[in-house]
Structure formats: structure tokens, C-alpha cells
Structure 1
Amino acid sequence: MTLEIDTGTGLMPVHVWEPPSGNGPGLLLLQEIFGVSDYIKERGAQLAGLGYFVAAPEIFWRLDDVDLDPDAPDLLDRAIAVLGRLDWDLAVSDSVAALEYLRGRDTGVGVIGFCFGGGLGFNVAAASTPDVLVSYYGSALPDLLELAPKVDAVSLHHFGDADEYLPPETVDRIVASLGDAEVHRYPGAGHAFDNPMPAFHHQEASALAWQRTVEFLSRTLPIEQGTS
């Protein structure tokens, strides 16, 4: 279902997936640059199936003329152009508003983000206080490392060793700033390796990273925490 959250400067559309029990710890799901795509919605449904109450805000909601047709041959160029018009600070505050909505349900809360959302989630974790953070190849991380001391959430990070946007030496620098975070690196996997698009997907890395994500969440944000 979709609802609207008051950000203080407007109503932001948010996709919500409820767990079978109707209650559970909250997870803020942050999109890639392609928006809340079918892929992100699938991950939202899967997380809800595990017992989490999931909310995925439409981060591009403030922008006009956003056309991210998944069948467009120039989809990546379109998405990059949209991202270039985004106000990062507003994206952070909008995401924090969605996190506070989840926190208002009196459960534990976490953040999970992919690519653009992986970096945004890191910034959200610095600006707010989620219990856990899962970041998949956060593309903005190299520019956010000064925030690392403010991130108190128990964290899990995934990186592909064949990522052209985050090459190994850049990941080395990121990892050195992450402190006690759990980090996994995947040989042969490029950027966005969890995305099912053929241009990005790496089947083995995607499956293993998801397995590790599910295990991490079960350990750090247990379902019992939010069940009645």
C-alpha cells in the first residue's frame, strides 16, 4: 500500500509493506537512482515476509518531470539527470521523516539502502539514530566519511570488487573509516550487483549478500523485538 508522510514541508508518498503478523520492527528501505522500482518493491515484500514493517519513500517526490521508464534505453542517463536535480539535504531530512514514522510505532528501526540509497542511508544513520544500517555499495560514501563518527548503528556493508564507481582502493578507504562495521566484498561483482537488470546483476554475489543481510537483520533487529 501507499501512504503519505508529513515532512513538515509537504506530504511525501511512501510505499509500505506490512508483515504477516501486522507488526514487527521497522525498516526504512531506500531506493537506487531508478526510484522505487519493481526491484525495490520486491525487496520490500521479501523483507516484510521476514517479519519487518517496511517503508520505502519516493525520494524524488519533490522533482517535476521525473520519467524513469524501466524500458527506456537511456534509463541510466535519465536517472543520473534526475539525481543531478536532487537536493541532498532535503533527501536526508525526508528520509529521516520516514524513519521517525517507523519509530513512532514503538519498535526497533533499521535502514537498508541500495546504491544511491546505500549512501543516503549512511547519512540518515548519522543524522538520526536507527538501530541498524545495511548499505549496498553506497555510491556517495566516499564523500560522507567525515560523518562516520556519528553513525552509531550496528552496520553491514556490501561492495563488489569489480565496481567501477567504487574501485578497490576507494573501498579500502571507506572500510578504514567504518570502525567495527561488518563488511563483505564480492570478487567479480560490479556496481549494483543485486539489481536484476542483466547489465548489473551478479547472481552469486546477489544471493550471498542477501543471505548475509537476512542473517544480520535476524541477529541485530530480531523480529521478537516488534511482535506483540
Structure 2
Amino acid sequence: MITSVKTAAKNELEGLDGLKTEPFSRRGFVMTGLVSGFTLATTVVHGQTINTDSKGLVAGEVKIPTADGELPSYRAMPEGAGPFPIILVVEEIFGVHEYIKDICRRLAKLGYCAVAPELYARLGDLSKMTDAQVIVRDVISKAPDATVLSDLDATAKWAAASSKGDAARLGVTGFCRGGRAVWLYAAHNPQLKAAVAWYGPLGGNPTAIQPKTAADVVGDLKAPVLGLYGAADTGIPVASVEKQRDAAKAAGKTVEIVIFPDTPHGFHADYRPSYRKAQAEDGWARMLAWFKRYGVA
């Protein structure tokens, strides 16, 4: 599993707020709708996938207004008056496909308004891409962090205004590359109550449009972060995870790191061979407890 994009480019930009977004070479959104079913870019183990129904929910594809168009997204929330606490769900590199949609429905069943924006819609049609390395090279590496953060802000604003969401109870969770975005967003949005990063990459080589790693922003965190990692993750060394924990402690930030023994990257992804049921369920329970402890639930 690819966890970072290697590049020789360096930069001298400071901070995350106020960055200029690199202009896109194409007008509009390449991806105007979400992935149907599961991603084509990885092996799917259908026998173990979790399928959460939408009974009692308002669930489906929505369009979120941004400065340059409408962002295709998936929203699930309970039926009823609300207001509901908001959880931003940040995708892996494979798009908002059935696994990410199901996570939204799982959270909605627990009383949350969960929204997953398709953050790479401007850059490529992930519904048709079959090679993870090509996705990283042609899409992920070309997504400016400033745009990702702006889109998450727009999603939170939309959820509060249009989906009975409670802006005062805002949380975020994300998986793999989405876990990296969780760290960045926790350093970006002072209104965020709590964040949970599932095996989010911590290092990497900065570029002009992705100027900070998760490790770089640990001292700027504005919300408590729970990091869930696997000791057998070949792309995220345990030493780097422990370093992140120690740096957060030194900076006086509220960060809890859990490292599951003998556990690979992607252990929550129930559609992939990397899935580990016990660790996934343990991490999920810890995530819910984290959100409750810090005022999202």
C-alpha cells in the first residue's frame, strides 16, 4: 500500500491557513458522481464486507457547493429533526466508494450526520481508475492541501446549513491518506472538537502544493487527535508513530496513539485482505469513545 508520494521538490511555505491553491489545468470537475460499488483499484473480499442498510436514515449522494463548482459527496444522517453532530469522513486514495459510504451509514445509525466529500473530483475519475500507483501519481500528488482543507470546511458548513448538522459538535475521521488529512485538518480548524486518524501517513517529502507533513503540524493541533496504527504497517514505521506521540506530548497537545501489534496497514478496510476484525472493532470503539469524550457525541 502506498502511503506517501516521493518527490525531490521542497518549499518554504509556512503554516496551512491562507495558502494559495494551485490553479487546476481543467475547468470544472472531472468526477461528477461517486464510485458505484467498490473500488476497482484493489482486491475486494466480498465475504467479509460489512453492509449497513439505510433504514431509518436519510442517505445518498449530495452536491456540496465550493468556490469552483459542486463537489460530489455522500451524506448519511438519521431521520428526524436533529440537530445531529457532524462527522467529516475522509476517504482513502480510492474515492468515496461503497466502503466509505457504509462508514457514513454506520455513523448515522449512531446519531451522527456523516458526510464524505469526493476530494479528488477535480483531478480524475476514480470510479474508472484501476492502478493504485497511477492514482497516487496522477491524482493524489496533484491535490493541493489548501484545496483539501477548504473542501472540508465547505463540507462542514454545508452539513450545518443543509443537513440538520450541529456546527458546535464537529468531528473528523479518515483512513490512510485520509488519516493524513485528519492531522492537517486538526491543525487547521479551531472549531473542530475531535479527530481520529486511521493509519494516516506522518512523513513524506513536502512539495509546493503539499507543504507540510502530519509530523510538521503536530505542534499546531487545535483539537484532540486519536491515532490508530498497525505495528506491521510496512509504510508507516512504528518509530515515526512513537515520534509523533512524543512530539505532541512535548508540545502540550492532546494526542493518544494506539499501535496494534502484528497489524498491517488498512486493518479497518473490511473489503480488503488487510482487514483485521478484532483490531477494526477495537479501533471503532475507541473512536466513538473519543468523540464522546471531547464533545462531538
Bigger-Rg structure (1/2): 2
Q: Is the 8 A contact 1:109 1:131 kept in 2?
A: yes
Bigger mean CA deviation after superposition, 160-169 or 198-207 = 198-207
Question: Aligned-pair distance for 1:65?
Answer: 4.1
- Residue of structure 1 in register with 2:245 after alignment: 175
TM-score by length of 2: 0.68
Which whole-Å CA distance do the structure 2 matches of 1:222 and 1:167 have between them?
30
Which whole-Å CA distance do the structure 1 matches of 2:203 and 2:64 have between them?
27
Q: CA RMSD in A?
A: 2.0
Give the counterpart of 2:173 among 112, 124, 131.
112
Q: Letter of the 2:66 partner, please give it.
A: T
Q: Letter of the 1:15 partner, please give it.
A: Y
Relative distance call for 1:123 and 1:222 in structure 2 (3 A) is: closer
Q: Is the 8 A contact 2:198 2:228 kept in 1?
A: yes
Q: Is the 8 A contact 2:267 2:275 kept in 1?
A: yes
Q: Letter of the 1:134 partner, please give it.
A: V
- Residue of structure 1 in register with 2:8 after alignment: none
Count of matched residue pairs = 219
Give the counterpart of 1:162 among 228, 232, 236.
232
- Residue of structure 1 in register with 2:150 after alignment: 93
Q: Is the 8 A contact 1:25 1:53 kept in 2?
A: yes
Question: Aligned-pair distance for 1:40?
Answer: 1.0
Relative distance call for 1:140 and 1:13 in structure 2 (3 A) is: farther
Counterpart check, 1:16 vs 2:90: no
Q: Letter of the 2:177 partner, please give it.
A: F
Which whole-Å CA distance do the structure 2 matches of 1:119 and 1:141 have between them?
9
Which consecutive residues of structure 1, in runs of 5 or more, have no partner in the other structure?
224-228
Q: Letter of the 1:161 partner, please give it.
A: A
Counterpart check, 1:4 vs 2:60: no
Q: SS of the counterpart of 2:126?
A: coil
Q: SS of the counterpart of 1:47?
A: helix
* Paired-residue identity, %: 26
Matches within 5 A, 1:51-70: 51-68=111-128
Relative distance call for 1:68 and 1:156 in structure 2 (3 A) is: farther
- Residue of structure 2 in register with 1:25 after alignment: 85
Which whole-Å CA distance do the structure 1 matches of 2:291 and 2:67 have between them?
31
Which whole-Å CA distance do the structure 2 matches of 1:169 and 1:68 have between them?
36
Bigger mean CA deviation after superposition, 17-26 or 205-214 = 17-26
Which consecutive residues of structure 2, in runs of 5 or more, have no partner in the other structure?
1-59, 205-212
Question: Aligned-pair distance for 1:141?
Answer: 5.3
Question: Aligned-pair distance for 1:172?
Answer: 1.5
Which whole-Å CA distance do the structure 2 matches of 1:188 and 1:62 have between them?
37
Q: Is the 8 A contact 2:175 2:199 kept in 1?
A: yes
Relative distance call for 1:222 and 1:90 in structure 2 (3 A) is: closer
Which whole-Å CA distance do the structure 2 matches of 1:210 and 1:106 have between them?
22
- Residue of structure 2 in register with 1:42 after alignment: 102
TM-score by length of 1: 0.87
More helix by share: 1
Which whole-Å CA distance do the structure 1 matches of 2:248 and 2:176 have between them?
17
Which whole-Å CA distance do the structure 2 matches of 1:31 and 1:120 have between them?
9
Relative distance call for 1:222 and 1:170 in structure 2 (3 A) is: closer
- Residue of structure 2 in register with 1:218 after alignment: 292
Question: Aligned-pair distance for 1:215?
Answer: 2.0
Give the counterpart of 2:219 among 149, 155, 169.
149
Q: Letter of the 1:11 partner, please give it.
A: E
Counterpart check, 1:200 vs 2:274: yes
Relative distance call for 1:34 and 1:131 in structure 2 (3 A) is: same
Counterpart check, 1:136 vs 2:198: yes
Bigger mean CA deviation after superposition, 48-57 or 195-204 = 195-204
Deviations 1:170-228 (A, max 9, x none): 111221223331221100111111112343212221111112112222332354xxxxx
Q: Letter of the 1:213 partner, please give it.
A: M
Q: Letter of the 1:7 partner, please give it.
A: T
